[in-house]
Amino acid sequence: MIADTPSAPYYAVIFTSLRTDGDQGYAEAAERMLELAREQPGFLGVESARGEDGLGITVSYWASEAAILAWKHHPEHSAIRERGRSTWYSACHTRVCKVERAYGFKAVK
């Protein structure tokens, strides 16, 4: 699903990861993080995809850098992030960007 974001400017956090083999509780934790993120002030939406090779990209959208930092330091998110580093990911990168322009279209059916 494509996130329904407001007019720019806003912020995007791009999380790119390579998964390890096996679920090991990953699906449940990912669902909980999505649920928790949606409760955070300043959260605007999320888009996520993972290929069969284990490469995943999740882009979350936020109203401000302060909202991003609050999410980063949320205790439950911090604990899951550490579990990701020790169990679920063989590599990951996080990039924070300011969205200056955004545009798109929807086909009329």
**Maximum CA pair distance of the chain?**
46
Entry pTM: 0.92
| Number of compact structural domains in the chain | 1
pLDDT for 109: 84
- Answer yes or no: is 105 within a domain: no
The answer to whether position 108 is within a domain reads no
Q: What is the pLDDT of residue 1?
A: 86
Give the structural domain span for 32: 10-99
CATH number at residue 71: 3.30.70.100
What distance lies between CA 69 and its chain's CA centroid? 13
Structural domain includes residue 22: yes
**Is 46 part of a structural domain of the chain?**
yes
Helices 75-83 and 26-38 pack at an angle, to 10 degrees, of 150
Report yes or no: 15 and 92 within 8 Å, Cβ to Cβ. Answer: yes
Helix/strand/coil for 80: helix
- Is 1 part of a structural domain of the chain? no
Stated length of the chain: 109
Q: What is the pLDDT of residues 51-80, one digit of tens each?
A: 999 899 999 999 999 999 999 999 999 999
Closest CA to 19 of 84, 99, 76, 96: 84
